[in-house]
Amino acid sequence: MFTLLVALLIFSVVNYFISKASWRVGSIINALIGSYLIFQVFTIPKGTEVTIGKFLGETLALQWTNAGFYFSFVSLLVIVAVMFFAIKWLDSQKHPAAFNMFILMVTAGSLGVFMAKDLITLYIFWEIAVLSSMLIIPMGKKESRKAAVVYAVMSAVGTYMFLYGAFMIYSRYGTFSMPEIAKNLANDPSTSFKVAVVLLIAAAGIAKSGIFPLHTWLRIAHGNAPDAFSAVLSGQLVKLGSYVLMISVAVFPSLKIFANLKLYSGVPAPNYFLIALGAASIIIGTLMAIKQDDMKMLIAYSSVANGGYILVGIGTMDPLGFEGGVLHVFNHALAAAVIFMAFASVVYRTHTKKISELGGLIHKMPITYIAYLFAIISLAGIPPMSGFISKWMIYQALVRKGMFITAAIAFFGSIGSFLYVFRPLAGVFLGQLPRKYKDVKEVPPIMWIPMLVLVAISFVMGVWPFPILQPIENMRADFGIAPSFKIADAQNWLVRGFSGSWNPVIVFNLFITGFIVAYILYTLFPKPKKVDLLKPHKEEGAPINIYTSGEFIYTPELYHYNTKFYAGFERMYEKHPSWEKLLYMLAKFFHDVGEWIHGWFFRPSPSAYTFWLAMTILIIFWVRW
Amino acid sequence: MVFWISAILIGIGVYGLLTQKNLFKQLISLSIIDTAVNIFIIAVGYVDNGKAPIYSKAVPKFMEGAFVDPLPQALVLTAIVIGVGVLALGASLLVKVKEKHSSIDVENMKGVGE
Amino acid sequence: MRRFYAILIAAALVYMLISFISTVPSYGKADLKERVSDAFLSKSVNAQNTKAWMEGKAIHRQPAKEIYGKKVKEEGSANVVTSIVVNYRSFDTLGEVTVLFTAALGVGLILGGSRRKQYGREANFVLKTSTGILVPLIIMFGAYIFVHGHLTPGGGFPGGTIIAMASLLLYLSDEKFFLSKASTGALEGSMGGTYVIIGLLGLAIGGYFLYNFLPNGVVGNLVSAGIVPLVYVAIGLKVGAELSGLVTDLHSEKEG
Amino acid sequence: MMNYLIILAGAMMIIAAVFAVEAKKILDAVIAMSVVSLVSVFLFIAMRAPDVAITEASVGAGLVTAVFLVSLFKMKGGDEQ
Amino acid sequence: MMVLLIVLPLIFAFLAAIKKSFSYPLLVTSTVVNVIIVLLLKTSVPSVHVLGGWKPPFGINLVLDDASYYAVLIANIVFFLVALFKETVGKYSTVLMVMLAAVNGFVLTGDLFNSFVFLEILTATGVILASKRENYYNAFKYLVLGSLAGSMYLLATIFTYTQVGSLNMAHASYFAISEKAIVVITILYLVGLGVEAKLFPLNGWVSGVYGGNDLSPLVMATAVSFAALYMMGRLFLTVFGGYALHILYVLALITIVAGELAALYQKNLLKTLAYSSIAQAGIVLAAISKSTEKMVSLAYFHLTNDVIAKFVLFLVATFLVYNYKNLNGVFKKHKVLGTAFTISSMSLIGFPLFAGFQSKLRMLMEMFKTSDYLFPAVLLFATVIELTYLVRWNVKLWFEDIEDESEVKGPALRATISIILAILLVGIFLAPNIILNPTTKVAKALLDSTSYINNVIASSMGGM
């Protein structure tokens, strides 16, 4: 395994030079490597352990676990899809060679994270993934420069809290190895230490998967990163955070560790805290996503909300909740990846990501539309796509635990997700086609095939979820979360819950029936007529054929029906407090302190220097004499 | 007592550095501090009724307490010269500061941004 | 207000220094037996045992050793300060020379003139004539000071400075007078080189840098104290040249 | 006797130093500074340090004052209000 | 032999005064010769050179032990690398030679007053270097602060003399200085050396000097900084045996935060790096102040990484700042320089794959082992801020749209050296022991004052 990672890292640099010669060759090689990796993750036997070497007197090691396999597989699905997508998409980019190099590094880093057996190995690969993704983000448009910095800083805040926690653990137990830590933590008498450590470790996950106090980077980073890379960011890198969150509550068995801290229906207090954060993320993510006009930022906020779902699910440490959360990782990864790739296709053709500037692309880009449609169905959690199953499991767990507020929030998020995923659908694909896009074509097959493949996987898993549920079952058994309870029951075609079971095949059949009925009705009813609104104004150009009581419209985009799409709803929380502003204020605060220090200590005249020298002497004198 | 003189002189020099906005005055304050430190060092080596540490016909023999401590004097010799070097450097810098910023008063200097 | 605070701070500093002084032996009560100077004065460094001295500061010497007019094996200058400056702690002096060298160099680099600055002011007659008479005398006096550095107070630095004063006088009295950088630089460099080479000779002959490889002679004689007078002459000339160069730099301006 | 002289010298130095620091004209300040140096020469002699005294007189008092004056001259009065 | 390290550059400098046009070749020669001498000296560690044959507490001695050897090695290599840049060095080659001598002397000397003399030479040469490119006011500020600090250093030396009776470091270390006096001495030394070691709030000069021209940061931020921080360790660990270290610790922590925050605010590339240099010095000082062998070793390990990284950063930054009006996206034109810059800044932050990771992580771990939770917190907080501004600069230099269309010819030598050093940083990550082994020896030598004293005493036995 280690050789694989090192080879990937080295080859990423080699690939830079290959790509310098011909970036297309480089990206094809990338895609092939990725495909090989997917094959590879299936061949590694579970439980394989590889020692990397000694660092600081501690052995660093990799371990191939069920969890690692699951997360690696999901990550690779997304990455490989993007890699194929990029073969064509890259010709709209300025730095294709660097993109090829860094995306391979991201792959290596993420795989390393999932393979890591101890916290330091995890940290090292984590930083590799962060570093390389941080260098891809600024390749986008102007704003993306700032996005990279925000991303790096937020990520660093979480990462260094993680590191602090890791070292606190080390100073107490003298080990970084996760199984050992889990054992030690379970027997540790000091509650405050355990709480502090677990939350510090979780901080990295919170920052990375965009959970509430550190969620703000998602909007700016997802929104401004190179379009296809947003798919990796949202579909894959964010899942690194979920993985770390899973470590902090499941690998370190929180039920055992906090056995005396059970707060409410068997959920330990720290988990409860995390669940609260997840719930907050769901609310914020949903509400903010509804407002966005920029389609990428919209889905970025939706990632916040979905990250919240995952955390809520995992945090319950309930068999159904845990599996639901973990399965949601898969669902959201695929859906978000497809959505971002669809957007990347749109941007590739139209060069804008403002919903209000688009419209009617369904006729020009039907395949992209189909992919997007199915992805949002999955994202919103509607059967028969796989997204439903995970949400269903999470609801089940919440209801069973009696966490009705959280459950209500989750339902609210689900309804909100209908609202926000519909906005791009209506604004981008439906409605009128702006005149300037009348020559837009569908993207080439190499770009839409990966999308369709992912959609198909999601679809199949919605109908027959057992192949993906089985590894999750294994994971749950590893972590010992009610191992006797069996959820995926492939023999009976059932996904078992506490209050009833779910037979995806039947549901699928029902849906198909419904769909067929609807289609028949659709063909029976008279068809809508098409009016070419552009016709009368063909010569005059820009303004679309819209008049308001005889006045000519100078700013047609204000009359695009997607402008203020949910204005009524948005007005309800117009003056909401902005967390993002608060964080910026914090950044501004440090900046101002810097200015103050600069102004007082570093800039001034020799007199001031003398003053500080004298003061230093005097203070030390006063302290010491 | 000589110690007091040198301490007060150092204080005056520091006061000068603190209050004076004219860079030349600051250089002068530095020079005062230098002198004060030198006086202090010599005072450290002074022995009551000791002679200057030079053998001559009058004092041909070594005797305890006959001479003041020669080592501080040697150090001060070095320190004085070092002080001069630094001050000369400072003065020449000030000539250029005046040329470039058209003033050597901290408050009137032009083009000292940041 | 600024002044008030400044006075406060300065007063606090003075208070601090005065309270520091309590750790120093009171004025005039310095005990040389506690210090290395005792060995310098009695010229008995070689007789000391380092370890014993460091442990108990045990000085090995005859209480009233005759020094003036005698041959002292260890060190031969009558002026003990000189013996410290140029022999016992000669390395400091090399550093000191370097500081001055650096300063002269720096002034040259910073001011960077290559032409005599004209103030358009004619010096008066008295100054002009007296300069003509005084300059040779001043130079001779300076030379005397550094040549007798090991016997009488003074030495290379004041001697060199006095020589530089002569050139300053020349600059003041004559608008046209200009020492070329090449000449002062050459003297300065070669004299500095001489000092280092004397040191290196010591390294070659005695195994120690700045080792006194010449006989010491009789304390009090002009030709005595081994390398001390040589070094002082070199220093004197070097300092004279250096400071003259510095004065030249101050009186020069950029071309054009 | 010597003590009184030293006190006198010290007082002179302090007064001169204050004057050097507070003088309006820089020329005055430089002169006062050289007075400080010159009086310190007396102190050095009083403390039996003739070597230092000579060096201070020539280098400290003489050369520094000369350098300061020349550079002051060069920057034409050195910025007096 | 070791005295040649000081004397040869000096004699070359004097020779350069005779004929100005020889000064650059002489500089190159002296640095090359010095590096060779340093490498040859490896076999004679530890040894003591007694100048003039006057035995230690009386005369001056130079001490070459593991610690000073390492410092001298770094300093001489840095000077050698700087000397390669003919255009940058310009008229300042003689000054550099003197500075080289001063750095070597400052590091090697075993005498307090002697170190004061070399400190003053360092200040004077530093001022001259700082005045390059008409950076006069900042140079003047440095001069005032430097000579004030020099006065403090001298006072401290004299106080030591009155207590100990000699100026010898070994003797001072051996001597049991009275409780009251050591407070005085350490306060004054802390302030006197703190200016050079960039201790807050005595480091106001740094940004002006490092940020003012293209030569001074290359030397001052690396070799001189190393020498000053070495001396800090030597004085406070070896000579005064761990006195006043908690004051140093507190001040160092403040230094870290203040430096990083000031760097965050700063808009000028060179000054940003200057402040970052302050913060790194703070980290090193804080680690030194822990005075355990591991921490001190890591302090100098970190310092080495910082010196390498800063050298590259300043090498690249000075080239950019003085050749382009607008820095947006310049690395698109200078890919190699850009790569080196990025690698160095990542190393500074402490990303894995680069040397800084090794030192920072080890330091953290060591701190946790000794259950000091404050320093790691400060260090990690500082790292976040450091990451902010370094990433900001990297992104700006790589990705912003080019505004300055002019293109300066790629500087081959600069690119080569910077990329080699950057690769060295990666190498240190892979094999940290190439630096850690010597720095462990450094730490041992600094902390083991007994053997330091014994070395010096032993040198007097063989004397005349």
**How large is the average pLDDT for residues B5-16?**
90
Residue E192 lies in a domain: no
Q: Rounded mean pLDDT of chain E? A: 88
Q: Where are the domains of chain B?
A: 2-101
CB contact under 8 A, A618 and C9: yes
The string of pLDDT tens digits covering residues A501-542 is: 777 788 888 888 888 998 888 888 877 766 555 555 555 554
CB contact under 8 A, B18 and A606: no
Regions in chain E scoring below 70 on pLDDT: 461-464
* Chain C residues lying within 8 Å of A619, measured CB to CB: none
Which of C19, C81, C162 is the best substitution to test chain B (most B C-beta atoms within 10 A)? C81
CB contact under 8 A, E124 and B71: no
Residue whose entry in the numeric block shows the structure tokens 């208070």: C15
B70 vs A55, residue with greater confidence: B70
CB contact under 8 A, D60 and B35: yes
CATH architecture classification, D2-78: Up-down Bundle (1.20)
**Which chain B residue is nearest to residue C103, measuring alpha carbons?**
B85
**pLDDT value at A136 more than 80:** yes
With a pLDDT cut of 90, the percent of chain A lying above it is 0
Which of A124, A130, A160 is the best substitution to test chain E (most E C-beta atoms within 10 A)? A160
Q: Give the model's confidence band at D81: pLDDT under 50 very low, under 70 low, under 90 confident, else very high.
A: very low
CB contact under 8 A, C9 and A621: no
pLDDT for E76: 92
**Which chain E residue is nearest to residue C212, measuring alpha carbons?**
E52
CB contact under 8 A, B93 and E140: yes
Q: Which of E113, E137, E154 faces B37 most closely, judged by CB atoms?
A: E154
**pLDDT value at A558 more than 70:** no
The residue segments making up the domain with residue E412 are 266-430
The string of pLDDT tens digits covering residues E326-371 is: 888 888 888 888 889 999 998 998 888 888 888 888 888 888 888 8
A157 touches chain E (CB under 8 A): yes
**How large is the average pLDDT for residues B47-57?**
82
CB contact under 8 A, A607 and B20: yes
**How large is the average pLDDT for residues C182-192?**
84
Residue E244 lies in a domain: no
pLDDT for C63: 62
Find chains touching chain B: ≥3 CB pairs under 8 Å: A, C, D, E
pLDDT for C199: 86
B104 touches chain E (CB under 8 A): no
Residues A290-311: b if buried by 16+ CB within 10 A, e if exposed = bbbbbbbbbbbbbbbbbbbbbb
Residue E206 lies in a domain: no
Nearest to E326 by CA among E396, E417, E259: E396
Q: Which of A152, A157, A602 faces E391 most closely, judged by CB atoms?
A: A152
**pLDDT value at D43 more than 60:** yes
The string of pLDDT tens digits covering residues C115-172 is: 777 766 677 788 888 888 888 888 888 888 888 877 878 788 888 888 888 888 888 8
pLDDT for E464: 38
Residues A133-165: b if buried by 16+ CB within 10 A, e if exposed = bbbbbbbbeeebbbbbbbbbbbbbbbbbbbbbb
At E44, the amino acid letter reads: S
Which of A8, A229, A598, A607 is the best substitution to test chain E (most E C-beta atoms within 10 A)? A598
Residue whose entry in the numeric block shows the structure tokens 């509804």: A290
**How large is the average pLDDT for residues A96-100?**
82
**Which chain E residue is nearest to residue A53, measuring alpha carbons?**
E430
Q: Is the peptide bond before A526 cis (omega within 30 degrees of 0)?
A: no
pLDDT for E36: 92
pLDDT for D79: 43
- What's the gap in Å between the CA of E49 and the closest CA on chain A? 35
Q: Rounded mean pLDDT of chain A? A: 80
- What's the gap in Å between the CA of A615 and the closest CA on chain B? 11
C42 touches chain D (CB under 8 A): no
CB contact under 8 A, D74 and C243: no
With a pLDDT cut of 70, the percent of chain D lying above it is 93
pLDDT for E463: 44
**pLDDT value at A350 more than 60:** yes
- What's the gap in Å between the CA of B37 and the closest CA on chain E? 7
**How large is the average pLDDT for residues A593-606?**
79
* Chain E residues lying within 8 Å of C188, measured CB to CB: 14, 17
CATH architecture classification, B2-101: Orthogonal Bundle (1.10)
**pLDDT value at B81 more than 80:** yes
- What's the gap in Å between the CA of A592 and the closest CA on chain C? 25
Which of C250, C252, C253, C254 is the best substitution to test chain D (most D C-beta atoms within 10 A)? C250
Q: Give the model's confidence band at A475: pLDDT under 50 very low, under 70 low, under 90 confident, else very high.
A: confident
Residue E179 lies in a domain: no
* Chain B residues lying within 8 Å of C103, measured CB to CB: 84-86, 88-89
Domain count, chain E: 1
E348 touches chain A (CB under 8 A): no
**pLDDT value at D80 more than 50:** no
A487 vs A108, residue with greater confidence: A108
pLDDT for E124: 92
* Chain D residues lying within 8 Å of C246, measured CB to CB: 67
With a pLDDT cut of 70, the percent of chain A lying above it is 92
The string of pLDDT tens digits covering residues A105-133 is: 888 888 888 888 888 888 888 888 888 88
**How large is the average pLDDT for residues A292-310?**
84
The string of pLDDT tens digits covering residues A372-387 is: 888 888 888 777 777 7
B12 touches chain D (CB under 8 A): yes
* Chain D residues lying within 8 Å of B35, measured CB to CB: 36-37, 40, 56, 60
Chain D neighbours among B 79-98 (CB < 8 Å)? 80-81, 83-84, 87-88, 91-92, 94-95, 98
Q: Give the model's confidence band at A196: pLDDT under 50 very low, under 70 low, under 90 confident, else very high.
A: confident
Q: Give the model's confidence band at C69: pLDDT under 50 very low, under 70 low, under 90 confident, else very high.
A: confident
B90 vs A549, residue with greater confidence: B90
